[in-house]
Structure 1
Amino acid sequence: MSSDRQKSTGQFYTQASHRGRSAYLRTIETAKQFFGMPNSYAAHLSIPALPIEPAYIGLVPRKPTWIPEWESEILPDRDNLIQFVKGILLSFAAVNKSHDLLAISMPIKLDNDCWVDLTMVKATTGSKEVTDTVIEERFGCLTVGNLLESRLSYEFDVKKQSENGVLAVTPVPFMRYGHWHSDLESRGLYVPKCNICGMKITGLSIDGLFCYSVDNIGIGFSSYWYNDWQPAHPKGIRSFCGSYTAVQKDRYAKWLQVDSDKKKNLYSCKVKILSSKDTFREHEVEELTFTIDSSS
């Protein structure tokens, strides 16, 4: 695990977790053989022990070419991070004329003793001034998968949604959680947050991307990649996996109800900066939040 093991967390499974899943599945098999449990019910109960998420099987990790490189001599402070985020937005816009960048979350390695974990999500506000908007993680959205179907649907708690706020959120896996995809789930795919009653967003893998649709009409996609993946990563980094979500500019109305005359678009950002004076010391963690006017 290298000399950094004291301030890192491992990317591995314990024997206890394997034994737990095995015992769970053997209990279901015993119920089938000796107590007559129907096969359909047994199949439903076994889904939480799946090693994979069927909807993610077709995903292919692809690092975006439009993400600028962080120059090693630049210190990761608030001003430099704001400029870096603006650089991401400009680079994305230059190569994606028909899409908006809805969210991106990724680790950035400056050196072995300095890391940045960056997340930015598009948001709206009714205020004329740019104000802080909280990024919602694992809140107000469930991922629902049926048995081994390769499609996921998303259920949003409309009551918990305000008029203002971020336009994408990482959902909570419900029933299905493929532990082989734990690296991806730790980072999360940011799903467009639908606030239209009766509309349901679904997602599935197409051509290596995870594509979202409403009423069989595509609205956007998510993709992921790995940054300097190792068997262990610093404790303050969510994972060495990065992800981003892009949506089609002309299809917001399919999943989002917004009074455009009264709304201001912005990007809400949160950052963790991990730094250590020596390789044997624990990382010091600094957390920053800021917003960027998307029209500037």
Structure 2
Amino acid sequence: MDELRILIARLGWPSTTARWWAMQELAACLGRSTAEAEAALIQLLKSCRLEAEVIEILCIFWIAARSNGYKAPAQLGESIQRSSILADLLLDSLGVCKPLGDSNLIEVPVDFDIPQDFEDVQGSDLPRIFRTTMINLEYQTGLPFLQQMAFEWTLNHSVYPEAPFQGNLGHFIRPLGEGFVGHLSSRTALRSISAYLRTIAVATECWGIPMPSAVDRALLALPIHPTLAFLTPQRPQWFPQATDFEGDSALIQASLQEMLMQVKAEEGGELIAFASPIVISRERCVEVSCVRWSQAVGSSIADEDLALHLDDYWHYRPGIRSSALEPLGVSTLLSLPGGFNSILDGESKAWPLSAPLDFDRIGYLQHDLYPERLMMPTLPGKDGAELSPHHGRLVIKDREQVVASLCYWNAGWGVARPTQFGGHCGSALISRGTSYREGAIFETPGVRSIYLWKVRTLSRHNSFGSFDETITMGALFV
């Protein structure tokens, strides 16, 4: 019981990583047919005061149903006090009857003024995507979407009268000194997301917005991406030691070669992409990243200048677009970059073998993964692929054949990461065989493989001041 109580308490933490992990652990408790866990979560569901809180609890039941064959109880829908379109989607997926519609929806008064505290939290306590979506809908329809969201924000201020903002998030980051950014989601974010969901409900009930359009917008309020929900932190055995990437370029490349050989020996495949902090402390932080490229003959860039050139090109790289056949489908369809020429750098005749996943169906508790930790194979010459969870990893399939898998791990459990780092966690994209780099373009004489690598080191002489940054990069030919 103590373990269950602790896990439920962690659902209220502002740390996004801790909340996601607690949801997975509670789903595992449900999967073990723990009646005690089910009763505790239903009781928690009944006590939810905000729509976003309801969604997070329902996601626990959804994870358990999808991963462990758990069957949700019929009274689950009856336990919801704050319904929404997104809650209805989750209940439908669980095979549970939905509660009656919300009869307390109120349209925003014509003379309502958007309060300043609503504007102040945009882009700080929560991503601006919710406000931006409201503005776009307002532009398309002429209806007061942003005013409605701000109005709902004002109404739910009294839901937690003792602490509507859940304290100062700077309290968690300030002791770390300069140069850190938090990955936090507090009650302020939950209030804003709830206001967003209620605005969508008003739009469907009062303004006649089509349900498919409403569902698409509601999915932005998911705490977890339906495919990424089942990722579990698994730091690989071949993960480098803290001192492996110290020294000059020659020593770093030797460490990279050693890591590549260990990946091949332990995973049976090739490393396509890797990004992770390997040292995080108050005085020194080190992040290592590498991406595999291919290069044809005819480059106008000298080998010694290739790393700097490709790094500049990498900043404008195309991403991997995604879609799903159903709103909460576990599998994600990948639309690969539009043809080989779209990823080819004309000057160097090189092209990357991986690219970041887009932000579709992003989970707000998983922002630490985006975009640098979600690298997908570009599969030049292929039209599409499928991304799905498997034993705590993600697997990428081309016509049912697994071509690569992605694993991730927590580099630290803190509430913040260095501002210059791509995330507080790490990930690796590893091939299954070599089919990910096979085809007509790879069979051209003279094509060679390159690893573009970068080591970012932050250091300071105390535990509070700003960091000095050093970046070392290079191109390793294999």
TM-score (normalised: structure 1): 0.88
Cα distance between partner residues in 1 of 2:175 and 2:197: 38
More strand by share: 1
SS in 2 for 1:267: strand
Q: Give the AA of the match of 1:291.
A: A
Q: 1:9 to 1:243 in 2, by over 3 A?
A: same
Cα distance between partner residues in 2 of 1:288 and 1:122: 17
Q: Give the AA of the match of 2:317.
A: F
Cα distance between partner residues in 2 of 1:144 and 1:203: 9
The equivalent residue for 2:241 is 69
The equivalent residue for 2:30 is none
Q: Which moved more, 1:185-194 or 1:209-218?
A: 185-194
Matches within 5 A, 1:155-194: 155=335, 156-158=337-339, 159-162=341-344, 163-174=349-360, 176-194=361-379
Q: Give the AA of the match of 1:51.
A: P
**Contact 1:76 1:273 (C-alpha < 8 Å) held by counterparts:** no
Q: Give the AA of the match of 2:318.
A: G
SS in 2 for 1:32: helix
Deviation at 1:138, TM superposition (A): 7.4
Q: Which moved more, 1:233-242 or 1:110-119?
A: 110-119
**Contact 1:143 1:172 (C-alpha < 8 Å) held by counterparts:** yes
Deviations 1:110-166 (A, max 9, x none): 643111111101111124974323373673224323321111222213342215222
Are 1:287 and 2:471 an aligned pair?
A: yes
SS in 1 for 2:177: helix
Q: Which of 80, 83, 88 in structure 1 is aligned with 2:254?
A: 83
The equivalent residue for 1:268 is 452
Instruction: Identify which of structures 1 and 2 has the higher relative contact order when contacts are C-alpha pairs closer than 8 Å and 6+ apart.
Output: 1
Q: Supply the RMSD in Å over aligned alpha carbons.
A: 2.5
- 5+ residue gaps, structure 2, are 1-171
**Contact 2:249 2:472 (C-alpha < 8 Å) held by counterparts:** yes
Q: Which structure would you say has the larger Rg?
A: 2
The equivalent residue for 2:318 is 140
Q: 1:267 to 1:75 in 2, by over 3 A?
A: closer
The equivalent residue for 1:44 is 216
The equivalent residue for 1:7 is 179
Cα distance between partner residues in 2 of 1:42 and 1:22: 14
**After TM superposition, which residue ranges in structure 1, 4 or more long, deviate above 6 angstroms?**
none
Are 1:203 and 2:384 an aligned pair?
A: no
- How many matched pairs? 290
- 5+ residue gaps, structure 1, are none
**Contact 2:319 2:356 (C-alpha < 8 Å) held by counterparts:** yes
Cα distance between partner residues in 2 of 1:28 and 1:154: 28
Q: 1:257 to 1:215 in 2, by over 3 A?
A: farther
TM-score (normalised: structure 2): 0.56
Cα distance between partner residues in 2 of 1:22 and 1:111: 36
Cα distance between partner residues in 1 of 2:439 and 2:219: 29
Cα distance between partner residues in 2 of 1:255 and 1:20: 48
SS in 1 for 2:329: coil
Q: Which moved more, 1:203-212 or 1:25-34?
A: 25-34
The equivalent residue for 2:291 is 121
The equivalent residue for 1:151 is 331
More helix by share: 2
Are 1:104 and 2:274 an aligned pair?
A: yes
Deviation at 1:38, TM superposition (A): 4.1
